[in-house]
């Protein structure tokens, strides 16, 4: 009676292959990477005679090494070479199958796309068509269990929505340790369908290149901590900028010949990450909209109140889950429609903005994303030249974009980083309260509960930039500092407000009439309108 060969894999470091009278142990298991080789250390025993065992290590894909193994083992074990060659061949096949199964099991399980019921689709459609969409979305986000951070959470939600577009936005959450960066990203991402996102804790250097060609397309990539993604910052930047990455590698074929293979992974992707160190990841941050978490005492109180209510069972968690599911269904109904902004040529940035080219692109894309989110409230138009269907941006979209990104644009105009600016504004408020223009560092440190190193860093930066100067003192007795600039942030804010109002006033002068919206029962508007030169283009 023939015994069916089997591979016992209970211990991955000690695989046992039984084939007839032979028991072959794979010592140390096999490596799951490197498909061009299958290196093993074997212990072969025949007929249960453990004393007469043959041990050898080799690459099972190397025919010369396999022939040498069969020749030596057949002599040592007194077994026919043909029989042993068959055993080694079947062992190789079994190990290949085992490796494939292990790799398949290790792949992240992509959630299947949910098919909405007719009732769910109808509710989501009504949600997208009803007036005040952004206001209702803002309320829904709060009702989903996100405490405070109303503006930041809405910005993040819209950025995550842009994953469905050909030019998605990217997000970086910034703030000191313990201020809720990861919590904000995690809670907002719970409003995005599972099938559209991929959460990453740590990746190896080449991991991105081994995804399937379209596996990341229009996905939201969530990076819990940028420090854990140091190895993949370059391919991340390429995915953000070029929306595709490729890498050429050298492999051996079955005959041992070298050949080159190009690995391609297509985007676009929406990338969201958290870090405490903006300057360290400046190249990546330049491609992102930056969100600075609220670390105020008021936000601390709101979160602690929520935690106490949650612990006391006073939070309706089922209601929160229902809201999250509803917003996911809303996301599932959004279609990848193009957006055109007829007012784009009127948009300007404050002169103080650093890296204005990328900042302008982020502002334009964010405005288009707001339009994209309102697609069920806009008429679908057709360009007669290209046949492309699109929806148009309105003045209201631009106003909302300016309003939501006001803090971000100000941060990009400020030469101080967020932590230093926050300290400087608190310092000025404290000095005004004490009716003073000067201070000693030893007075300030206990007031703001700063470590000596943090305080020294802030004072050095402020002095270097000319915001404070040393009035008197020495390094032994301590320096007395004097504030040189009291209204710099207010002036920057006023300039930005004035510029925004001027831009909106110019746009309102444009005679751009919006036709009535014709909608079909299934959502997107079917009435097609021939593209024409708008009044904006005619005035230029």
Confidence of residue 389 (pLDDT cuts 50, 70, 90): confident
Express each pLDDT in 81-104 by its tens digit. 999 999 999 999 999 899 888 877
Task: Answer yes or no: are the C-beta atoms of 251 and 194 closer than 8 Å.
Answer: no
DSSP string over 385-429: TT--EEEE--HHHHHHHHHHTHHHHHHHH-SS-HHHHHHHHHHHH
Higher pLDDT, 197 or 231: 197
Residue 118 has a pLDDT of 93
* Cis bond before residue 72 (omega within 30° of 0): no
Calculate what percentage of the chain has a pLDDT beyond 70: 85
In the predicted model, is pLDDT for residue 213 greater than 70?
Answer: yes
Least confident of 27-41, 114-128, 359-373, 513-527: 513-527
Q: Identify the band that residue 252 occupies on the pLDDT scale cut at 50, 70 and 90.
A: low
Residue 531: what pLDDT? 42
Q: What is the pLDDT of residues 309-361, one digit of tens each?
A: 989 989 889 999 999 999 999 999 999 899 999 888 888 776 666 667 777 88
Instruction: Report the relative pairing of strands 338-340 and 389-392 from DSSP bridges.
Output: parallel
Q: What is the pLDDT of residue 347?
A: 82
Q: How confident is the model at residue 539 (pLDDT cuts 50, 70, 90)?
A: very low
Assigned fold of 118-334: Rossmann fold (3.40.50)
Residue 401: strand pairing partners = none
Instruction: Return d(Cα 454, Cα 468) in angstroms, integer.
Output: 16
183/146 Cα distance (integer angstroms): 9
Model confidence band, residue 417 (pLDDT cutoffs 50, 70, 90): confident
- Average pLDDT over every residue of 163-179: 85
Q: Kindly write down the DSSP assignment for every residue of 167-214, as one continuous string.
A: S---EEEE-STTSSHHHHHHHHHTTS-GGGEEEES---TTGGGGS-TT
pLDDT computed for residue 264 by the predictor:
83
HEC sequence for 298-362: HHHHHHHHHHHHHHCCCCCHHHHHHHHHHHHHHHHHCCCCEEECCCHHHCCCCCCCCCHHHHHHH
Please state, for a pLDDT cut of 90, what percent of the chain lies above it.
31
Q: CATH number of the domain at 418-489, please?
A: 1.10.10.10
Residues 93 and 296 sit within 8 Å (Cβ to Cβ)? no
**Phi, psi (rounded to 5 degrees) for 427:** -60, -45
Residue 540 has pLDDT above 50, yes or no: no
């Amino acid at each position: 009676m023939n015994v069916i060969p089997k591979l016992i894999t209970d211990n991955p470091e000690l695989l046992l292959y039984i084939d007839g009278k032979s028991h072959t142990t794979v010592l140390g298991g096999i490596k799951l990477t490197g498909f061009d080789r299958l290196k093993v250390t074997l212990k072969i025993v025949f007929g249960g005679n453990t004393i007469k065992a043959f041990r050898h290590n080799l690459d099972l894909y190397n025919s010369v090494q396999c022939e040498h193994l069969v020749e030596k083992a057949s002599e040592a074990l007194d077994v026919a070479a043909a029989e042993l060659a068959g055993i080694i061949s079947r062992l190789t096949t079994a190990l290949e199958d085992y490796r494939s199964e292990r790799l398949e099991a290790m792949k992240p399980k992509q959630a299947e796309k949910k098919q909405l019921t007719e009732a769910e689709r109808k509710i989501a459609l009504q949600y997208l068509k009803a007036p005040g969409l952004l206001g209702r979305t803002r309320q829904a986000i709060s009702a989903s269990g996100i405490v405070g951070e109303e503006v930041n959470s809405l910005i993040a939600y819209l950025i995550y929505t842009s994953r469905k577009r050909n030019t998605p936005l990217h997000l970086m959450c910034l703030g000191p340790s313990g201020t809720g960066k990861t919590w904000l990203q995690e809670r907002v991402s719970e409003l995005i369908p599972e099938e559209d996102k991929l959460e990453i804790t740590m990746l190896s250097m080449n991991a991105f290149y081994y995804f399937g060609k379209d596996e990341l397309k229009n996905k939201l990539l969530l990076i819990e901590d940028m420090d854990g993604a140091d190895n993949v910052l370059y391919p991340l930047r390429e995915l953000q900028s070029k929306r595709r990455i490729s890498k050429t590698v050298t492999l051996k074929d079955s005959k041992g010949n070298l050949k080159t293979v190009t690995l391609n992974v297509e985007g676009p992707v929406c990338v969201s990450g958290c870090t405490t160190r903006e300057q360290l990841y400046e190249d990546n941050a330049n491609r992102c909209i930056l969100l600075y978490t609220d670390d105020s005492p008021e936000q601390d109180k709101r979160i602690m109140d929520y935690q106490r209510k949650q612990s006391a069972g006073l939070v309706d968690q089922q209601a929160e889950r229902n809201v999250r599911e509803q917003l996911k269904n809303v996301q599932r109904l959004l279609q990848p429609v193009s957006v055109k902004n007829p007012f784009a040529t009127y948009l300007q940035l404050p002169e103080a903005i650093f890296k204005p080219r990328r900042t302008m692109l982020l502002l334009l894309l964010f405005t288009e994303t707001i339009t994209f989110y309102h697609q069920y409230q806009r008429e679908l138009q057709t360009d007669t030249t290209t046949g492309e269907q699109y929806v148009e941006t309105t003045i209201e979209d631009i106003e909302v974009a300016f309003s939501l990104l006001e803090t971000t644009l100000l941060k990009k105009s400020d030469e101080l980083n967020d932590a230093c600016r926050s300290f400087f504004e608190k310092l000025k408020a404290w000095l005004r309260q004490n009716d003073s223009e000067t201070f000693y560092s030893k007075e300030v440190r206990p007031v703001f509960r700063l470590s000596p190193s943090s305080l020294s860093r802030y004072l050095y930066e402020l002095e270097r930039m000319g915001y404070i100067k040393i009035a008197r003192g020495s390094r032994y007795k301590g320096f007395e500092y004097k504030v040189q600039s009291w209204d710099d942030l207010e002036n920057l804010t006023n300039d930005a407000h004035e510029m925004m109002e001027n831009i909106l006033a110019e746009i309102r002068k444009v005679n751009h009439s919006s036709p009535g919206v014709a909608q079909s029962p299934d959502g997107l508007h079917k009435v097609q309108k021939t593209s024409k030169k708008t009044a904006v283009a005619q005035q230029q």
